[in-house]
Copies of this chain bind each other. A is one copy, B any other.
Amino acid sequence: MNIEKLVDNKNLKLTTARRAILEIFNNSSKPLCYDDIKNSLSMDKATFYRNITKFEEEGIVNSFESNDKKRYYEIQNNPHAHFICTKCSAIECIPEKMDFKIPNHKIDNIIIKGICSNCLNK
């Protein structure tokens, strides 16, 4: 998906900083936290956090806290679940279809916590 399409109909201007943030997440196959990308960003952390919050408000990005206590972000298209291992903190994307529905609720993100197969076999 191209960046322009992501902000289409959204209530925000596509500034240089915002484009840079969205490029990174758009090109990533997995959720990323600020630490993961801070060295690739040429903006202040305040700018990153202000903008990622705005993206969340507009429904462009969703986030979750992982086992390492850091907040991970991801473009909110192609919804899928995430498995977080509470032993080794691994994050796995679970692409399988989720037949999970809750009446009158809009589901954006599913986080499953538990023990991954690696840790189970130790």
Chain A residues with CB under 8 Å of chain B are 56, 62, 64-65, 81, 83, 86, 94, 98-100, 102-117, 120-121
How far is it, in angstroms, between the C-alpha of A50 and the C-alpha of B103 when the chains are bound? 39
Asked if A86 and B120 make an inter-chain contact with CB atoms under 8 angstroms apart, the answer reads no
Nearest-CB residue, chain B, relative to A104: B117
Residues A105 and B86 in contact in the complex (CB < 8 Å), given A65-B65, A111-B64, A111-B111: no
How far is it, in angstroms, between the C-alpha of A81 and the C-alpha of B101 when the chains are bound? 12
In the complex, which of the residues A111, A116, A121 has the most CB atoms of chain B within 10 Å of its own CB atom? A111
CB distance from A26 to the nearest CB of B (A): 20
| Chain A to chain B: the 5 pairs with minimum beta-carbon distance, closest first | A104-B117, A65-B65, A109-B113, A106-B115, A111-B111
Asked if B120 and A113 make an inter-chain contact with CB atoms under 8 angstroms apart, the answer reads no
Residues A102 and B112 in contact in the complex (CB < 8 Å), given A56-B86, A65-B65, A86-B56: yes
Asked if B120 and A114 make an inter-chain contact with CB atoms under 8 angstroms apart, the answer reads no
In the complex, which of the residues A62, A86, A103 has the most CB atoms of chain B within 10 Å of its own CB atom? A86
